[in-house]
A and B are shown apart, each in its own frame.
Chain A
């Protein structure tokens, strides 16, 4: 668990959290109605890009075709009492784009290095790989400590 220990820099907590978690909650929107689901994620070391895969027949893919703005929630709760103080959560806001061509190959390398067991899934013809370009991250730890990180566009 990423604990916010003394002296730990805010950004390091964020880096450890994002690179340590395999799953995130993805929030999308369509017709002013929100939708959320779990996705397997991979992230670049500078935290500027997140990747996730989904089939093109899913609701989230449909939502993303209409609105590229997404939120990802990444947290390390363990469903225990200590979560209230020791868990950290990051809300990542950004723009999602479906990858193609060379970008897709680059993205797949990074994604499969994190989730090699998903190779069959992501290489299936109906599967799309998305890159989220991060604009802003809200990091919450110690229950109510909130830091914002603004990423350059």
Chain B
């Protein structure tokens, strides 16, 4: 038979010499097919097509520019998310050139003009015995039409650069710049029962493991559908152990893809993995192991009476050097819509009320009435509470943020906007963001001072507001709604100096909660879905809005717990000034470090030390664009809470990370520069709410920029230019507010 063109090879034609251009998965399918095992027929789009796509479109250069803006190992999870979204958007926005698309379509159209296809990854390094990219690269099922297939080939290529795949490549010391991806396009089998199987159970060499679900495999592989599971004796085929899942859902075909649907009552009660199915799978598993000469991990599906092998790969002996560590946690952040809905319920109905309740109970305790022993005990309890809730925050609140990302990915897939973060404009402007509501209330108080110069003068002199006056009433109302936040500025309880200074500064120039950029309306998003997908689209939008709101609100709740700890420590410190108490001294010293690090932004880690006499000065720093706009102004570098009170209207806030508890100074700022990176960090979210230029992810920002430096913050390109490095200017400077487009 004549070999296909250089971009497309038939799976059945592949031989070992094609490994580099076809990848291990395609090669294994070809071998299974040639050995007579039932596999869906199909083609492999070679790595040559991928390489030519990158070179013909110039995408290779653009990817490198994006990827190398910051050392990969210095990126936090938010930055990795951003990177993945930007890369995917680049692939989505870059169609295949005709000289590449036409030969591919020509090869595929005879088979797939009227037959649905599965489009799967087959990267050369994937599925070796020492590395497993299982679940890290994308697969697409039930794709109809050659144009759609080619479109999805691009998405599979994009997944080579997904955040999760990049993270794994880094661990394996593989340079993504020199990685390539082949793609399998094969007949889609609408299986009724599907699963995965391992020819050897770990630690039990005589047993095989089979897992099965109703419907398609995708639900099992993605973790959305829990499988039934059996262990079988490899020789006799006898089931020696059986675990039945709580069967609720299945992944089924829908027009142009697959979807998760509830099971019928009959299927809920019946296992998809009776002994007869297990034996059939075991038979195929043993054949595959014999064929490849090594234990196999097999994906299979059954339609009617026929079983099909979907893929086979060696059982991985070493999956990751960091299986249980940060990468595992990072991978756990990826949540499905149903998982996010459950998480929302937990956070809104349980976690936030409990967290607030704990803080309120602690606040209600009269610290003055406690003896030293009881106060020391209370400090320890408050620390324990904070530890507990910070743990819950990491388990539940950070994964909830995935709702924003999931929405962004679907939005970009559907609407393909030029700006991969255009979707954020649909989420900004939420009326329920506590930090913004607090700032609005502060701005109202500031407006009173602006409108009443006499009152402002009194406040400036340090005179307490007259009891019963409108201002005093509004101030009390503010404290009731949002609590006392003087502690954030390192002030004693109920200290008004810092807050009054802030209000006077806010009164100088009115600040608008801008959010004036053109927002895409809900309809443009919802209209991109068919009638039967409307529920999914609306639920996804709702979850995204909740995720966005909670991103800030959960931190505000955590802030209340920090405050009650701070209050108890402050009371202890006051007593220690007057008398000795080993109990109190011990309790306070144990957490002093913790309080200072939790409320103060940390100073950058990468302190640079040029040789003596050589002065280092940043001229231009590269970060990530996180809030579009161009701002020019004087830098105010905030490295500790006590510096917040010195912030002046129109200055550019430069800090390690904008803590949600300190976002009250944002209305005063004309721009934001942060070391911590990402579009979803609090600084970026709040900057968008005020329409401020924002650049995040600037390594060493607080070391390389000095208070008083003249800055240009380019929130379009993510660049901060230090145009005048005078540094540490004491004189107060006025600067123009940021310029916003349109």
Contacts and interface: CB of A to CB of B under 8 A. Distances in A.
Interface stretch (A66-74, A98-106, A110-118, A137-145): A137-145
Contacts of B177: 81-82
B73 A146 contact: no
Interface string A28-55: 0000000000000000001000000000
A150 B622 CA distance: 21
Contact of B64 (A5, A10, A85, A146): A85
Interface string A124-149: 00000000000000100011111111
A144 B622 contact: yes
A84 B74 contact: no
A151 B616 contact: no
Contact of B71 (A5, A46, A84, A143): A5
A142 B69 contact: yes
A46 B611 contact: yes
A77 interface: no
A148 B618 contact: yes
A84 B61 CA distance: 8
B277 interface: no
Nearest to A10: B608
B253 to A, nearest CB: 41
A79 to B, nearest CB: 13
A146 B620 contact: yes
A127 to B, nearest CB: 31
B57 interface: no
A113 B622 CA distance: 38
Nearest to B54: A81
A13 B71 CA distance: 14
A131 B612 CA distance: 21
Nearest to B74: A6
Contact of B614 (A6, A82, A150): A150
Contact of A148 (B65, B608, B616): B616
Contact of A146 (B74, B609, B619): B619
B596 interface: no
Among A7, A11, A81, A149, which residue has the most Cβ atoms of chain B within 10 A?
A81
Nearest to B700: A10
Given A9-B608, A11-B609, A84 B616 contact: no
Contacts of B704: 147
Contacts of A4: 71
Contacts, number: 80
B613 A6 contact: no
A78 B15 CA distance: 36
B610 A11 contact: yes
A120 interface: no
B136 interface: no
B619 A138 contact: yes
Interface string B709-732: 000000000010000010000000
B620 A81 contact: no
B71 A11 contact: no
A86 interface: yes
B65 A10 contact: no
B606 A7 contact: yes
B60 interface: yes
A81 B614 CA distance: 33
Contacts of B65: 84-85, 143
Contacts of B61: 81, 84
A148 B68 contact: no
A85 B68 contact: yes
B615 interface: yes
B614 A151 contact: yes
Contacts of A150: 614-617
A85 B177 CA distance: 12
Residue of B614, B615, B622 most packed against chain A (CB within 10 A):
B614
A147 to B, nearest CB: 6
A81 B68 CA distance: 12
Contacts of B622: 142-145
Contacts of B617: 147-150
Contact of B613 (A142, A147, A148, A152): A152
Interface residues of B, number: 31
B623 to A, nearest CB: 10
B422 interface: no
Contacts of B74: 6-7
Interface string B131-163: 000000000000000000000000000000000
B248 to A, nearest CB: 44
Given A11-B610, A151-B614, A145 B620 contact: yes
A85 B69 CA distance: 7
Given A82-B177, A142-B68, A142-B69, A148 B611 contact: no
Nearest to B698: A145
Nearest to A142: B622
B614 A149 contact: yes
A10 B620 CA distance: 13
B260 interface: no
Contacts of A142: 68-70, 622
Nearest to B67: A85
A141 to B, nearest CB: 9
B410 interface: no
Contacts of B239: none
A2 B348 CA distance: 50
Interface string A2-30: 00111101110000000000000000000
A152 B616 contact: no
B252 to A, nearest CB: 43
A146 to B, nearest CB: 4
B90 interface: no
B618 A146 contact: yes
A149 B615 contact: yes
B217 to A, nearest CB: 38
B105 interface: no
A58 B71 CA distance: 44
A152 B619 CA distance: 18
Contacts of A138: 619
A128 to B, nearest CB: 28
Contact of A11 (B60, B68, B611, B619): B611
A95 B132 CA distance: 57
A142 B69 CA distance: 6
Interface in B593-632: 606, 608-611, 613-622
Nearest to A86: B68
A147 B617 CA distance: 6
A121 B617 CA distance: 39
Contacts of A145: 620-622
B616 A147 contact: yes
A4 B71 CA distance: 8
Contacts of A10: 608, 610, 616
A136 B533 CA distance: 62
Nearest to A14: B610
Contacts of A147: 616-619, 704
B64 A84 contact: yes
A138 B608 CA distance: 16
A84 B619 CA distance: 19
Given A82-B177, A149-B615, A150-B615, A9 B620 contact: no
A152 B614 contact: yes
A5 B60 CA distance: 20
B95 to A, nearest CB: 21
B614 A11 contact: yes
A93 to B, nearest CB: 13
B618 A151 contact: no
A145 B623 CA distance: 9
Q: Which 6 A-B pairs have the closest CB atoms?
A: A6-B71, A85-B68, A146-B620, A146-B619, A11-B610, A150-B615
7 contacts: A6-B72, A9-B610, A11-B614, A84-B65, A142-B69, A142-B622, A152-B613
Given A84-B64, A85-B69, 13 more contacts: A4-B71, A9-B609, A10-B610, A11-B609, A11-B616, A81-B64, A84-B65, A85-B64, A86-B68, A142-B68, A147-B616, A148-B619, A149-B610
